[in-house]
A = this chain, B = another copy of it.
Amino acid sequence: MKAVVLLSGGLDSSTCLALAVRELGAGEVLALSVSYGQKHAREVRAARDVAAHYQVALEHLDLSCCFARSTSSLLDHSSEDIPHEDYAAQLQGRPGGLVSTYVPFRNGLMLSAAAAWAQSAGAERIIYGAHADDAAGRAYPDCSPEFVRLMGGAIREGTGGGMILEAPFISSTKADIVRTGLELGVPYELTWSCYEGGEHPCGVCGTCRDRIRAFRLNGAEDPLDYRTATR
């Protein structure tokens, strides 16, 4: 085993997996999927489908206990609704910078779990799908280049050296990622991004809007069935 890829089942991490498999081969990659109490537990199924498509081994961890007290609107136990706006609009009303779907240090926790798995499995690399759009305006500070630099340093140091954290899309927009993924033939019809828990993506939450726009910017159409007027 050479690399552990954090695989949410969404567009960014599925494209990360495609890159890793192309470089290393499916047998050298472990995909790690995490439940953290998200409303869109549907994405865990998508992670399984994407991993199966690439014939990559998948492990699933349930870390939802760590967020039992969080009021993030992304969590199933939250009484707050998922905002139906894009991130820029959401941030306008929040001078502190965080959006309501931010989950406290979620990515730090998932990367730490990935480091534990990677070292246990003898892997030397951890790959995750942080990208520039998510870090913009500090909507998700656990996607910023500085976070990746520091967390990567902590993982390297804390595992005794040698372990590398990679975020291949840290300087890319979601449209860049879709372009790469279309070239690689990523099965985007198997992925799931929507923050709502429905059977079909809502088309109006921040991540649905981002995703639809990213395909449009590539002159392509998102293969998901939104069944809404906004598509």
Contact flag A147-B151 (CB < 8 Å), given A109-B112, A117-B69? no
Give Cα A25–Cα B153 distance, bound, in whole angstroms: 34
Which chain B residues lie closer than 8 Å to A146 at the CB level?
157
Q: Which of B66, B97, B102, B159 contacts A105 (CB 8 A)?
A: B159
Whole-angstrom distance from the CB of A76 to the nearest CB of chain B? 15
A-B contact pairs, 28 of them (CB 8 A): A63-B65, A66-B113, A68-B120, A69-B120, A70-B120, A71-B120, A98-B160, A102-B160, A105-B112, A105-B155, A105-B158, A105-B159, A106-B116, A108-B115, A108-B116, A109-B109, A109-B113, A112-B112, A138-B160, A141-B157, A141-B158, A141-B159, A141-B161, A142-B157, A144-B158, A151-B154, A153-B153, A154-B154
Interface on A for B, CB 8 Å cutoff?
61-63, 65-71, 96-98, 102-109, 111-113, 115-121, 138, 141-142, 144, 146-147, 150-151, 153-155, 157-161
